[in-house]
Every structure is written in C-alpha cells, then in structure tokens.
Chain A
Amino acid sequence: MRLIIIRNENNSHSQINKGKEKDKMKRITIFAMFLTFFTNLSFAAEVNVFSARHYDSDIQLYKKFTEKTGIKVNVVSGKDKALQKRITEEGADSKADIYITADAGRLGAFDAKGMFQNSMTSTIKAVVPKNFRSKNWTGIAKRARIMYYSPERVNANELNGMTYEGLADPKWKGRVVIRKSNNIYNQSLVASLVKHNGKKATCEWSKGVVANMARDSKGNDRAQILAVAAGEADLAVANTYYLALMLSGKKGAEQQAAAKKVLPFFPNQGDRGTHMNISGGGVLKNAPNPENAKKLLEFLLTKEAQEHIVNNTFEYPMIEGVEPHDLVKQMGIGFKQDLNTKVVNYQKNQAIALECMLSAKWK
C-alpha cells in the first residue's frame, strides 16, 4: 500500500518539478559559463608568478615591471612545498612561468626534479656572481645567517674567533637559541657544515648544539633574537634582515628597543666566512611565457628593483652598485662571506643535515 502511494506521489512530484528543472538547467548553464569565464581569464602579455616569498613590496615591484614593459604579472603565493606540488602536478598544463622562493636548497631541490629550464640570459650572468646562481635559477637577494648576542652576558673574549662549529662548545651550555630542525634556513646552514666537516662531525656537532640549547627550539628567527633580548638565552642564530626589521620600528617601539639590546656577530671570519643564503627564482620547465619570465628576472636584478628590495626586506643586494639599507649597513657590511660553499650545493646536503639534526633530537 505504502509503496503505491510513494510511486504515485513520486510521479506527480516529478511533473511539478519538470518546469523548475528546466529553469534550473538554464541557471546552471549560465553558471557554468560564468565559471569558465573565471577560469580562462587571460591577458595577451603576461607572466605568471608562483611565489613562496610574498612581501607587499614584491607586489609593488611587479606593478613597476608592468608599467615598464606592459607585461601583466599574475601572482599566486603560498606555502613553498604546496606550490611546488601544484606546479609538478599541473605538469605540461601549468600556467606558472616563474617560481620564486627563499633558500637556495629549495631552489636546488626543485631544480633536481627537472622543474626549471635554462633561466640564464647574458644580463643575468653579467650581474649575478657565479656563486649565487645555477644554470636554471638565480639569486635575487642575499641574506646571511649570523649570531646575535647579549653584550651584557657575553664578553668579547668569548666570541673571539667564534664559528658555527663553536656553537657545540660546552662553554655555551644552556645559552644558545636556534630554530627547529625543520626550518629550511637551518637545514641549509647545517648542509654547509656537512660540506665542510663531513657527516660524522656534523652529526656530533648537532648533538653538541642541542646540549647547549637554552630551551627546546621554538618560534621564528625573530623570536630567537627576542629571547636573547629578554634574557632567556645569550646567543641566538638568525638571519640578518630580522634585526634590521625590528630596528626599523616596523614591529613597534617595544621590539625596536629590544633589538638594541642585542648585537650581531658574523661568525667564521677567520676561515671560510659567514654562511650566505639567497632568495631567488627560476623559469619553469613548462612556462607558457618563458621570455616574459626572463624579462621579469632581469628586471628584479636591475638597480631600481634591487634598491626597492633591500629597502623593504632588509636583505643584501644581489648586484654590485646597490647599497644595503642603512640599518643593515650599521650591522656591518665589510664581513667575509662564505663564497667557497656554492649555494647550489646546499640541496645536496640538506637531507644529511636533517638526518643529523633529527638524530640529535633537535626538535
């Protein structure tokens, strides 16, 4: 009995709904058209940037590029590896022309997967030192990974001749702060140690560093510097631009004052020099607009763009003839950079570096 009712009602229901369904179909079609419009929106001259480095100042730079060349810059920014995954999976259909990220190891790893194409032009070769580029990608700006200390609690003697290797010295027990082992800047730094001292020594060194930590690793680079300012630790490892950022007052008056309580120290001045890293980019293998992409890279390496970058992100310029920001200059610019270790090689040793850190229980 119930079944029959159901059948009958279903029947009438379907008739009533037929008209509605037609309407609905119409709407759905319009909808679909609307969506395809959204998906295929494209410009004649454009370059598509996938960026894991997303400063507002970069966006301003891209606008300048468009004004100059008429090439529109489209940007997707996001987490480094997730962006890479998207580019890889999109494969030949990928619209991405250029991939920009911080850390040479990341660029190297992505290159090792065959995701870049030859990005070099004579202009790029002429302005970027060999050490900071490979065939398929180039550095855009430089940063050094240095130490910060509390002048109140660390005397000049203690730091005399200080090296990265020295971080494992027991005299620093309970005094060192550094980020977690999953941090890519740490992985590159430790990779350079692997290159110089070998795996065994570096794994030992990692244990020494962990034993010296004032607390379990946590927070970003800026948090390490603040920990020294706040007296939680005496010595921090962090990139150069963070201190300048705080000194600039962009992080507020409190942090500006805190930043003045620490001093930068450039390690390994007696031997190979201070560990350098880059933010950079390369033209992707399946780029639909490779020429525009190269133009953008070239533009980012012009004096105008470099000045814009260094004044906004407090990195070091990649090309000659551009001065870093005054606050960065104050930290010292005459230091010896490690130019023996090619940044191209960071990638090769990052896995070993991570293994050493993990086996030392570096959080």
Chain B
Amino acid sequence: MISIYLRKINIWYLSSFLISIAVAIPIVTVFSSFFDSTSNYSDIIKNTFLYDYLLNSFSLLFGVLFLTFIIGVSSAYLVSFYKFTGSNFFKWALILSFAVPAYIYAYSLTAFFENYGTAFTILKNLFGEGDYNSKIPKFDGMIGAIVAISFSLFGYVYVLTRASFHYQSQNLIELGKNLGFNKQKSFFKIILPSARPAIVAGLSLVAMETLSDFGSVSFFGISTLTTGIYNAWISFDDLALANQLSFYLLIFILGLFVLENLSRKKAQYHSPTRGGFKKKALTTLHGYKALLAFSFCFSIFFISFLFPVLQMLYWTIIFPKHLIDLDLISLFSNTIILVFLSSFVLISFAFISNYGNRLSRSKFLEILTTFSISGYAIPGIILAVAFITFISWFDKNIVSFFDIKNIKSIFIGSILGLVIVYFIRFYSLASNGIKSGYLKISYSIDESAYLLGYSKFKTFKNIHIPYLKNSILLIGILISIEVIKELPITLIMRPFNFETFATQAYIYASQDLLEAAAAPSLFLILIASFFILITSRYILKD
C-alpha cells in the first residue's frame, strides 16, 4: 500500500519536477554565466544605451497597454451589452486579429505608409500625380511598433474582458439601475470594476508578449531590453551585460505574471457559482448610436485584420512571381508537422502535471509548476540560444563521460530540438489553460461527486473530461496558432532545408523583399485564421 502510494506520488512528482527543470534550463543558463567575461561593449553601452533600452521598453509597454486597453475593453463592451448591425459578426471577427503576428503587421504598416508605398499609390490613382509622401503619416519606429503590437495583441484583452462581461451578474446591473445609475455610471461603477481582474489578466498577457517581442522591434530598429540582450549576448559575447538586462526583463515579467495570477484568482469570485444567473438583456441600438457602434467595431476589425490581409494580398497579386516560386507543399507540411508535434507534447505534459497537482494537492508541486511557466518570461530568441548553450554544456560536461556521440545533432538543428524549445516557450500556455479549465470545476463539485459515490476516476472521466475536452481542444488550437506564428526559435533551431511560412516571410523581409514576404505571410494568416475560426465558438463560449 505504502509502496504504491509512493510510486504514485513519484510519477506525478517526477513529471512535474522534470517539466519544471526542463523549462527552467534557459533561465539557469542565462544566469549561470553571470561571472563570465565581459567585453568592452558593455562600457560603451552602459554609458549611452542602457537608459535608452529601459526607456524604449517602457514607452513601448505603456503605449501598447494603453492602446490594447482602449480597443479591447471598448469593443468587448459594445458586443457584450448591445445589439446592433453586425454585432454577432464582430463577436468572433475581432479575434481574427490573433492570426496576424506583430512582425507581419509591421511589414504591412511599412508597405502601406512608407514613401512611395501603397498609400501613395492609392492617393495617386484617386487624385492624380502629387506630392503625397510628406502628407502620409509614417508608422515606423516606436509608433509603428506600438501600433503593430497593439493590433496583434488586443485580442487577449478583448477575449478575457468579454468573457468576464458575459458572466457578469445581471442582478448587479439591475441593482445599479434601481439605484438610479445611468449607463455611464453603471459602466464605470459596476461593469468595469467587476471586470477588472479579467482586464488586468489580459493586459498582463499583452505586456509579457510585448516585452519579449523581437520580430517587430528589430524590424523597426528599436533598441528594447530584448534586442539589447540579443546584441549584448549574441553579437558581443557580453554575458554580464546580457544577464543584467535579462534580470531587468525577468523582474518585469515575473511581476506581470504574479499580477496575472492574482487577477485570475480574483476573477473566480465574480463568476456566479450558484443560482441567479440571469441571461443578460442586450440593449438594441438604433440610429446613429448603432452606426457609431458598428463603425467602431468595423474600424477595429478592419485595422487589425483586413488591413494586413489586404496589403499582403495586394502584393501577392501584383508580384505573382513570388507566389509561383513558393514551395507551398513543403512549407505547409513543415508548419503542420510542428503544429501537431508540439500541441501533442505540450498538452500531454500539461495534463500529466495538472492532474497530478489536483490529485496530490501538494503545495510544493504547485509552486514548482508555477515556476515552470518561466519559459514565457524569456523572449524566444534568447530561449533558443540559451538552449543551444545548455546542450553544448551538457554535451561537454556530462554526456562525454558516457561516450555517447552526436548528442548535439539530436537536439540542435532538429525537429526534436525545435519541439523542445517550443515546449519550454509555450508550456505556461498549455499548463495555465488546463489549470484554468480545472479551476472552473470547483472542488465542491468533486466532493459532491464523491458523496454521490463516484470514484476518483469516474469523477475525472464523467465530470472533468467533458469540461476539459473543450479546454484541451482550445489549448491545442492556441498552441497551434502560436507555433504557426513563432519566428525566432524556428529561425535558429530549424534543420537544414526546413522553412515554415514564418521563417520564409522573415527571410524575404530581412532581404528587403517585403513584396516576396507577402505570399508566405498571407498563407500564415489564412491558416491561423482557419484555426481560430474552428475554435471561435469555444473561445467565445456563451
């Protein structure tokens, strides 16, 4: 009996433990080289640019948070509380913005607004020759990055806020009405405050993604902490500075993570657990109000999704040669292989670990799993290089004792290695997804089940699984979307002759062939959109 008990504990323990270790590798690697050599690059950088890195990261973060808050909350509010032309369409159409990675959005912005870009062509065709370049606003540099990142990430705020609005108690709102609150007052006094945890959770996800963004900030040439780490570590071998910058970044992100977790916990208190969930009465809008609501939602949909799609489509059409040159079949199969392998691996492990946590209710395990989300805290590009560094250390110091060869080629430049780094990067996504699925199943439900004579397994099978089935599917799709869009890890870790839509688009873009990057970008967006559409009913479950 005791031995079985121990064995049981060990499996869960071990898996959670191993997962945490695996996911912690990059952090350990980054910090373990703390006392390594420093080049004189750091002196130059410290005097001139360290301040800039911090300032830029802050400005970027601030701008993105502000924009995503406005866009995300107001659109969620409109579609949750009102009925107007297209309101049902916008409910799901707005999440299509998830299909557009920030770096592709950045390409579109540049393509459209640059001197002699698409905007110029449109104006010229409409009004004839003219000096339009100086009149067209330039979305590049910091402004460009803020816009690109905001419109590709506001979905997080939108989805979470909308869910919170949806479950918001109608009783409370009615109570407000009885107290004589007008629309405005009830929005600011009741609706917004009770959705605060969801909004904060959404914003902290946005913040984490923003801080670890590499593609669009490097495209716009902005020196943020992330590009700073990249330059210090990879370009100048200045580990001390890289560590210092990583440290700042991690502090930021861990802070955000704690904030997100706390908000999630609070968010539970607002969900109606028992009785009295009255379906919300939607206010139907008429006249100019309906027009305003429609225009607002349509603008967001247009800017976040249609604009990049149309820009890429336009280029694909006027430069068809690039589409013909594209090896679609191999790009597609490579992307799909990665999607399936990583979803499978991530979900399996997240499941093992979470189920174990729920069964054992061990505080230690829970802390360990919480720690294992740290992969999310490190920008992909740093993660990939840290992994390579770790494998080469591992090879030199441990594997060589056992006389095993080729360990590096198994992990570096292979699909296996790629999937492992994806695993580290997206584990928090999978684990938190399953976890929040589990959180929805109150322990009291488990206990009621036991009282009804359900066994643990039956409880799991008949109660957890039906609940979690949607979570699993949803998480699988979320991982797929992330993998399809993922750039820096794929770029560094991929095998020979292996391109995905993301790397292909990047490669063209980095050669200043944005028009050639259009076709792979377009396919990437379409595939991701497809995945989003098939899950939209789960993401937006009413």
Binding site for B on A (CB under 8 A): 5-14, 16, 35-36, 38-41, 48, 53-56, 74-79, 81-86, 89-91, 93-95, 180, 182, 216-223, 226-227, 229-232, 242, 245, 250-252, 254-255, 257-258, 351, 354-355, 358-359, 361
Contacting pair B131 A231 (CB below 8 A): yes
- Could you list 19 examples of A-B contacts with CB < 8 Å? A7-B5, A9-B457, A35-B414, A36-B410, A40-B406, A53-B511, A54-B507, A76-B413, A82-B385, A85-B234, A89-B385, A90-B412, A91-B392, A93-B406, A95-B413, A217-B221, A227-B115, A230-B116, A361-B48
Interface stretch (choices B82-90, B95-103, B133-141, B291-299): B133-141
- Return the chain B residue nearest A93 by Cβ: B408
Q: Does B389 contact A (CB under 8 A)?
A: yes
User: Please, how many angstroms separate the alpha-carbon atoms of A312 and B8 in the complex?
Assistant: 64
Interfacial residues of chain B within 473-531, with CB under 8 A of chain A in the complex:
488, 491-492, 494-498, 503, 507, 510-512, 515-516
The CA of A285 and the CA of B410, in the complex, are separated in Å by: 21
* A67 to B: closest C-beta gap in Å: 17
Measured CA separation A85–B492 after assembly (Å): 9
A258 touches B116 (CB 8 A): yes
Inter-subunit contact A229/B388 (CB<8 Å): no
- Check: B455 CB closer than 8 A to any chain A CB: yes
Question: In the complex, what residue of chain B is closest to A83 when comparing beta carbons?
Answer: B492
A38 adjacent to B221 (CB under 8 Å): no
Q: Are B359 and A229 in contact (CB under 8 A)?
A: no
Is there an interface contact between B134 and A230, defined as CB atoms closer than 8 Å?
Answer: yes
Q: A89-B388, A93-B406 are in contact. Are A12 and B455 (CB under 8 A)?
A: yes
- CB-based contact B134/A82 at 8 Å: no
* Min distance, Cβ A187 to any Cβ of chain B, angstroms: 11
With A38-B414, A229-B116, A230-B133 already in contact, the answer to whether A182 and B231 are too (CB < 8 A) is: yes
Specify which chain B residues have a CB less than 8 angstroms from the CB of A55 in the assembled complex.
511
Which residues of chain B are within 8 angstroms of A218 by Cβ–Cβ distance? Answer: 140-141, 220-221
**A85 engages B385 (CB within 8 Å):** yes
Partner of A90, one of B5, B408, B511: B408
Given A7-B4, A89-B391, 12 additional A-B pairs, CB 8 A: A7-B5, A8-B456, A36-B410, A39-B415, A40-B406, A79-B491, A82-B384, A86-B385, A86-B492, A91-B392, A217-B221, A218-B140
B409 surroundings in chain A (CB, below 8 A):
39-40, 93, 95
A358 neighbours in B (Cβ, 8 Å) = 44-45, 48-49
Which of B134, B234, B412 contacts A81, CB < 8 Å?
A: B234
Q: Which residue of A lies closest to B405 (CB)?
A: A93
* B392 CB contacts on chain A under 8 angstroms: 89-91
**Inter-chain contact A220/B491, CB cutoff 8 Å:** no
> Is the beta-carbon distance between A359 and B491 smaller than 8 angstroms?
no
CB of B40 within 8 Å of the partner chain:
yes
Asked if B209 lies at the interface with its beta carbon under 8 angstroms from chain A, I say no
In the complex, chain B residues whose CB is within 8 Å of the CB of A36:
410
A39, B495: Cβ atoms closer than 8 Å: yes
Determine the distance from Cα of A251 to Cα of B511 in the docked complex, in whole angstroms: 12
Q: Is the CB of B412 within 8 A of A86?
A: yes
CB-nearest residue of chain A to B233? A85
**Cα(A230)–Cα(B516), bound, Å:** 24
